[in-house]
A = this chain, B = another copy of it.
Amino acid sequence: MTNISKEDYLRVIYKGIEETGVVNPTMVAVHLNISNAAVTDMIKKLKREKYVSYNPYKGIQLLQKGKMEAIRLVRRHRIWETFLYQIVGIPWYEIDEEAENLEHSSSDNLIDHLERILNYPEFDPHGHPIPKKDGKIPRQKKCFPLDQIKIGNSGIIQKVNDHSKEFLFYLFNSGLLIRKKIKVIDKRNFDGSIIISVDNKELVLSDKISKNIFVEKIK
């Protein structure tokens, strides 16, 4: 048994919209690693309770109530990540899974305390904005997935979109950290991989990796 909560569904829907603009039940099922039938059930419930609107084949939308809940959860998650990283000293590539556990079991009051201790940070260690208590989301720098940067151009890593331990551990060991400057040296069209330089070293990145690294363009 998995026992995923309503909150998890809302978070996945929210992040799906944030990242790809549209979310359908299959995407939710894949992300939560459950059957489509289970998602159908839960969407019915979320719809009945006015968290989402939904039309088959047209995608799921968050209604006011659902968006608020999702943002509250995302806030809790990202504040925990920042706290675990900055105060507790958990490594960058482990904070996501710890935060995922804690986010469901912390009161708003506790989260506000953590935020104060951190001095009201605007971004988490992966570069994602931390929603304020009132739901406002800090403005992000305009940035692009690394695979869209042209040969010869440079950028600063501002965000990573995949939070799996393996992916982040790889980036960590390659020195591909937030705020690092990189330059695109070459691209291989046949497999989409990309050659970049960081810290005067050259690295070959698969398209799967480069699609999940977001950089701010610089001259």
Question: Which residues on A are within 8 Å of B, measured CB to CB?
Answer: 84, 87-90, 94, 98, 101-102, 104-107, 109-110, 113-114, 117
**Closest chain B residue to A90, Cβ basis:** B113
> Beyond the given A90-B110, A98-B110, A101-B105, could you list 16 further A-B residue pairs with CB under 8 A, ordered by the A residue number?
A87-B87, A87-B117, A88-B110, A88-B117, A89-B113, A89-B117, A90-B109, A90-B113, A94-B109, A98-B106, A98-B107, A101-B107, A102-B102, A102-B105, A104-B105, A105-B105
Question: How many copies are assembled?
Answer: 2
What would 7 A/B residue contacts be, using CB atoms closer than 8 Å?
Answer: A84-B110, A98-B107, A98-B110, A102-B102, A102-B105, A102-B106, A105-B105
- Shortest A119–chain B CB gap in Å is 14
Report whether B114 and A88 are in contact in the complex, using a CB–CB cutoff of 8 Å.
yes
Q: Which residues of B contact A109 (CB under 8 A)?
A: 90, 94
- Shortest A115–chain B CB gap in Å is 11
Q: Which residues of B contact A88 (CB under 8 A)?
A: 110, 113-114, 117
Q: Which residues of B contact A105 (CB under 8 A)?
A: 101-102, 104-105
- Shortest A79–chain B CB gap in Å is 12
